[in-house]
Structure 1
Amino acid sequence: MVENWQDFLFPYQQAVNELKVKLRGMRKQFEEQAQHSPIEFVTGRVKPVDSIKEKMVRRHVQADRLEQDMQDIAGLRIMCQFVEDIYVVVDLLRQRSDMTILEERDYVTNVKPSGYRSYHIVIEYPVQLTTGEKRILAEIQVRTLAMNFWATIEHSLNYKYGGTFPADVRDRLQRAATAAFKLDQEMSEIREEIQEAQTIFSYNRQPQAQPPKESEDTDASRHL
């Protein structure tokens, strides 16, 4: 068993902090170029110790295999406006040289029986420590805002019912998942109009250049 969890989790927290900055920087680049950003916002976390221990028991993960067998101790989540944006983000991540993609799981196209949709990417990321480089595993989930809303609710209910949902709750969740994806599809149908409107809105919010103020000498010369 891990003797000092704080020391063990330190590189994972550093990885989450660095990746959040880098992924948010990608969004900023699109904004600076006045382009639609496929990234709406980014969140990240390190899995709590109690959750790690619970998963070790549930998945039969041995302590000496924890770093290799638990891929989501460091977790990032990228939210997108449109389903199409998910695959744009995935392609952008594939092109990066500061991380290595080890595994991809497309639950957007291959939806889970529960109705869960998301795109999961397991990466190997190098963290620079005072003791040298340490390569750790992290999981990046890419999903739409609608998918994230459903997944957050499902996750909370999963804790309440211990993973075994009553039939009526399970059926309602599946219908809600279908409705959430229908919303995503409807938004995709008018995606170009939405993006155009957002571009206009963003432009109008930018501070407009003010004309230079006339100097006192110029103002006084009018009366000469």
Structure 2
Amino acid sequence: MTENWDVFLMPYQQAVDELKIKLRSARKEFLERGEHSPIEYVTGRVKTIDSIKEKMQRRYIAENVLEKDMQDIAGLRIQTQFVEDIYEVADLLHQREDLRVIEERDYVTNSKSSGYRSYHVVVEYPIQLTTGQKNILAEIQIRTLAMNFWSTIEHSLNYKYQGDFPEEINDRLKRAAEASFMLDEEMSKIRGEIQEAQQYFTVQKKNKNKTSQDNENESVDK
């Protein structure tokens, strides 16, 4: 099955590309209606071949069950402004008819011992190939901007220490995770004021762009 990795991974790349477009379109929909979008950024990737092989060995995943047992070959990350947005995005995924949520793990309210916080949703997403429909498993991680910053730093350090952090760094990471979550909590307390200010800014920007476009059109007409 995995003799030709390019062929094996192609459907996963298609799934990631399609889901990125759809989720970014959802964000645009909210903004066009003048509403707060729970989706701030959407990124995605397909696991590298080396990473897949390493995880197969570490988790004792046989080749014949790879597609079923490795749920994050296709991975997407949705960043949000507020903790409340995380659960709103999760609800949006449940409401979609073009995918099926099959598993959820809440590391926001139940953080890992390292301090890691994120909401993981595994979905089954159908793609259309020349050979017919294929259902792809994809993991969608939903987290705030602050959680994502912490996770990115922790991930970088993990490459250096291979998960075996010195005690001092481990303690500092945990304190940083706590500080990050405190930031999210404080932002949630003034969420209404922040959203109102952002909507005001958006309306002003639209009006300015419209005025500028009208002036250009008048200039052309003359």
- What is the TM-score of this pair, normalised by structure 2? 0.94
1:102 positional shift: 0.6
Q: Secondary structure at the match of 2:120?
A: strand
- Residue of structure 1 in register with 2:9 after alignment: 9
Q: Distance between the aligned counterparts of 2:187 and 2:75, measured in 1?
A: 27
Q: Secondary structure at the match of 1:138?
A: strand
Distance 1:191 1:4, change over 3 A: same
Q: Secondary structure at the match of 2:210?
A: coil
Would you say 1:66 and 2:66 are equivalent positions?
Answer: yes
Q: Secondary structure at the match of 1:97?
A: coil
Would you say 1:18 and 2:23 are equivalent positions?
Answer: no
- Residue of structure 2 in register with 1:98 after alignment: 98
Q: Distance between the aligned counterparts of 1:98 and 1:213, measured in 2?
A: 45
1:2 positional shift: 1.4
1:213 positional shift: 4.8
- Structure 1: gaps (5+ residues): 217-224
Q: Distance between the aligned counterparts of 2:145 and 2:47, measured in 1?
A: 22
1:159 positional shift: 1.2
- Residue of structure 2 in register with 1:51 after alignment: 51
- Residue of structure 1 in register with 2:29 after alignment: 29
User: Which shifted more, 143-152 or 207-216?
Assistant: 207-216
1:105 positional shift: 0.2
Distance 1:132 1:179, change over 3 A: same
Identity of aligned residues (%): 66
Q: Distance between the aligned counterparts of 1:200 and 1:124, measured in 2?
A: 38
1:208 positional shift: 3.4
Q: Which amino acid aligns with 2:210?
A: Q
Kindly indicate which of the two structures has a greater share of residues assigned to helix.
2
- Residue of structure 2 in register with 1:203 after alignment: 203
User: Which shifted more, 203-212 or 43-52?
Assistant: 203-212
Q: Distance between the aligned counterparts of 1:71 and 1:144, measured in 2?
A: 22
Q: Please list every run of at least 4 consecutive aligned residues from structure 1 whose deviation after the TM superposition is greater than 4 angstroms.
A: 211-216
- Structure 2: gaps (5+ residues): none
Q: Which amino acid aligns with 2:205?
A: R
Q: Distance between the aligned counterparts of 1:213 and 1:99, measured in 2?
A: 47
- Which aligned pairs between 1:204-223 and structure 2 lie closer than 5 A? 204-206=204-206, 207-209=209-211, 210=214, 213=218
- The count of corresponding residues between Structure 1 and Structure 2 is 216
1:90 positional shift: 0.5
Distance 1:115 1:208, change over 3 A: same
For residues 147-199 of structure 1, the C-alpha deviation after alignment (integer angstroms, 9 at most, x for no partner) is: 00000111111111111111111100000000000000010011111001111
Would you say 1:174 and 2:174 are equivalent positions?
Answer: yes
- Which aligned pairs between 1:16-165 and structure 2 lie closer than 5 A? 16-165=16-165
Q: Which amino acid aligns with 2:153?
A: I
- Residue of structure 2 in register with 1:193 after alignment: 193
Distance 1:213 1:160, change over 3 A: closer
Supply the RMSD in Å over aligned alpha carbons: 1.5
- What is the TM-score of this pair, normalised by structure 1? 0.93
Q: Which amino acid aligns with 1:151?
A: S
Q: Which amino acid aligns with 1:122?
A: V
Q: Distance between the aligned counterparts of 2:59 and 2:153, measured in 1?
A: 23
Q: Distance between the aligned counterparts of 1:213 and 1:62, measured in 2?
A: 67
